[in-house]
Structure 1
């Protein structure tokens, strides 16, 4: 007997089986996937930048 690993949906925290039966993984549904995408588009999430001014780093290339 094999066990299917389950994870929590990053959006609503529902249990999601990790496998081909969950096409929107790690999300539980297309709705949660689109909510997350919208949050990235609205710049609610940000990737931290370490160091100085990133524009100065580009100028030095």
Structure 2
């Protein structure tokens, strides 16, 4: 079973983040956006700068 769940993205979405349980670590700053992308725990459609912005805004 994959840890990734694909929700329906808007057709013109600038950014889509696909992740599993690692989203908690990412938002808690336990892992960096670059590390999450590098180890495959996050997949992106869009640029990595938007993921960094997302984690700056939505912190836990």
Largest Rg, 1 or 2: 1
- Measured against the shorter chain, the TM-score band is under 0.3
User: Given the two structures, how large is their TM-score scaled by the length of structure 1?
Assistant: 0.27
Return the TM-score normalized by structure 2.
0.27
